[in-house]
């Protein structure tokens, strides 16, 4: 594909809680997800056993031929109480992982926070932003000599909305719009972490934001208002303060603390901007009664309603497959933020299909979305990397082990890894794309 430069990064992504297991190993402290039982009755105590099998997994990365590996560092494994005493044994694990990656010529791209908040902390509290910055400094001091690229926070929208507004994820709160201060504290933690990483001499710094194109259910004023509000909450609430130093006007008054001073921190300059994309959202005005979407029970008084997208194939997670939505999103973000948008990396994109024998749909999904990235580049968007979610089948949060996103099949009884056909497809794609 001619649009991809020789420097374009091809990678895969994972997160600590979803693959590591080993809850009680090496002094790790509890997170808000410990003891959290998913819909299938499972928890992440074992996950995929990556903590013991990391060398095997790095060997799979080398076989795949990726340039970079995006993983996350477990905050409670490094700081068991969330702050205070550093668990050097926990840091040692990530030290070994980074060395293993470097030895295979794979660039490590760690995410400092991928949802596993230490159990002693809460993002409802402003002080958690300071604790996060202290944690970032600890990790940077240990790994900065071998890590050229950093991610502060993964998907603050989901932490805010799924974890604190509607209670689908840990910590399981249903605060609805009273969850907005959580968004502010997460963004403040991001900004403080950027500053801490810079002060420590860390390399290129970015963030991983989930964004979705928002489509209006109809041309009525009510549907347009609902869709615009949803776009503001899902997209602009998180991108605007980071990229422009301002909140959307409709939400600014809901933010706590010295907001103007905080926005100076939140908008600390980034070297690149990470985008996680899965599908567009079709949104309209709410109808009376309790609503649900994709199996999630939503509060009855939300001022918008999400509709299923018809006319598109769906993954086993029942998410619509719309590759061109990624091109649309990238172009729209470029047009909205112009020169305030740094170079972009697609930090997550992938699909859940359970059949380990027929991986055709996953291959078609990846091929379509990579072509959408190419189309966005052809339209002038500065995209510099693409990371598949995920290397391994893993513990998918509230869904447990029911959803399989991996290029590698994991037998959850034996933890045996078996590359799928999509693994071979992506391997060949990388080989043929590189000069």
CATH number at residue 194: 3.20.20.80
Q: Which DSSP symbol is given to 11?
A: E
Confirm whether 309 is domain-assigned: yes
Confirm whether 409 is domain-assigned: yes
Task: Tell me the per-residue pLDDT of 68-93, one tens digit each, with 9 for 90 and over.
Answer: 999 999 999 999 999 999 999 999 99
Task: Tell me the per-residue pLDDT of 391-421, one tens digit each, with 9 for 90 and over.
Answer: 999 999 999 999 999 999 999 999 999 999 9
Task: Tell me the per-residue pLDDT of 335-366, one tens digit each, with 9 for 90 and over.
Answer: 999 999 999 999 999 999 999 899 999 999 99
The alpha carbon of residue 51 and the mean position of all alpha carbons in its chain are separated, in whole angstroms, by 20
Rounded to whole angstroms, the Cα distance separating 213 from 202 reads: 33
Confirm whether 342 is domain-assigned: yes
Task: Tell me the per-residue pLDDT of 254-299, one tens digit each, with 9 for 90 and over.
Answer: 999 999 999 999 999 999 999 999 999 999 999 876 566 666 777 8
Rounded to whole angstroms, the Cα distance separating 253 from 433 reads: 48
Output the pLDDT for position 294. Answer: 63
Residue among 294, 346, 341, 350 nearest 321 (CA): 350
Q: Which domain holds residue 13?
A: 9-433
Confirm whether 21 is domain-assigned: yes
Structural domains of the chain, count = 1
The answer to whether 20 touches 97, Cβ cutoff 8 Å, is no
Hey, what are 14's tokens?
């994972």
Confirm whether 70 is domain-assigned: yes
1 — pLDDT class (breaks 50, 70, 90) = very low
Confirm whether 1 is domain-assigned: no
Share of the chain above pLDDT 90, in %: 94
Hey, what are 410's tokens?
């994991």
pLDDT of residue 3 exceeding 90: no
Other CB atoms within 10 Å distance of the CB of residue 380: 10
Active site residue 348: yes
Output the pLDDT for position 287. Answer: 84
Mean of pLDDT values over 232-244: 98
Output the pLDDT for position 435. Answer: 76
Confirm whether 2 is domain-assigned: no
Confirm whether 142 is domain-assigned: yes
Output the pLDDT for position 290. Answer: 54
Phi, psi of 382 (to 5 degrees): -85, 85
Active site residue 396: no
Mean of pLDDT values over 51-62: 98
Output the average pLDDT for the chain: 96
Residue among 278, 284, 285 nearest 320 (CA): 278
pLDDT of residue 126 exceeding 60: yes
Mean of pLDDT values over 150-169: 97
Catalytic entry in 20, 100, 155, 168: 155
Output the pLDDT for position 292. Answer: 61
Catalytic entry in 100, 305, 328, 348: 348
pLDDT of residue 205 exceeding 50: yes
Mean of pLDDT values over 300-317: 93
Phi-psi region of 155 (alpha: psi -120 to 50; beta: other; left: phi over 0): left
């Amino acid at each position: 594909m001619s649009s991809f430069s020789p420097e374009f990064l091809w990678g895969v992504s994972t997160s600590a809680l979803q693959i590591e297991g080993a809850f009680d190993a090496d002094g790790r402290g509890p997170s808000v997800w410990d003891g959290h039982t998913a819909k299938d009755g499972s928890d992440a105590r074992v996950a995929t056993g990556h903590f013991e099998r990391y060398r095997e997994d790095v060997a799979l990365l080398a076989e795949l031929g990726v340039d970079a590996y995006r993983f996350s560092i477990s905050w409670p494994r490094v700081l068991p109480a969330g702050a205070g005493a550093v668990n050097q044994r926990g840091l040692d694990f990530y030290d070994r992982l980074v060395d293993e990656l470097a030895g295979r010529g794979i660039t490590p791209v760690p995410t400092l926070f991928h949802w596993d908040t230490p159990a002693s902390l809460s993002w409802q509290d402003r002080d958690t932003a300071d604790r996060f910055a202290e944690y970032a400094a600890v990790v940077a001091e240990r790994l900065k000599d071998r890590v050229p690229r950093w991610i502060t926070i993964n998907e603050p929208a989901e932490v805010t909305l799924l974890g604190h507004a509607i209670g689908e994820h840990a910590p399981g709160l249903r605060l609805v719009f009273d969850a907005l201060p959580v968004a502010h504290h997460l963004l403040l933690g991001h900004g403080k972490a950027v500053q801490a990483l810079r002060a420590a001499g860390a390399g290129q710094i970015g963030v991983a934001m989930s964004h979705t194109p928002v489509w209006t259910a109809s041309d009525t004023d009510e549907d347009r208002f609902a869709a615009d509000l949803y776009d503001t909450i899902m997209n602009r609430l998180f991108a605007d303060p980071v990229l422009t130093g301002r909140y959307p006007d409709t939400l600014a008054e809901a933010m706590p603390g010295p907001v103007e001073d905080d926005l100076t921190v939140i908008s600390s300059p980034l070297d690149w901007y990470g985008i996680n994309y899965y599908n567009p959202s079709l949104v309209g005005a709410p109808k009376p009664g309790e609503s649900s979407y994709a199996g999630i029970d939503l509060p009855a008084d939300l001022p918008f309603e999400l509709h299923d997208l018809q006319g598109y194939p769906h993954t086993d997670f029942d998410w619509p497959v719309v590759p061109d939505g990624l091109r649309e999103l990238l172009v729209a973000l470029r047009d909205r933020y112009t020169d305030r948008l740094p170079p972009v990396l697609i930090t997550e994109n992938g699909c859940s299909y359970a059949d380990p024998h027929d991986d055709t749909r996953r291959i078609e999904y990846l091929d379509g979305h990579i072509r959408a990235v190419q189309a966005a580049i052809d339209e002038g968007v500065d995209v510099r990397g693409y990371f598949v979610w995920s290397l391994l089948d893993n513990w998918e949060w509230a869904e447990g082990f029911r959803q399989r996103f991996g290029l590698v099949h994991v037998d959850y009884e034996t933890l045996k890894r078996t590359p799928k056909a999509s693994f071979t497809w992506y391997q060949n794609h990388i080989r043929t794309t590189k000069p």
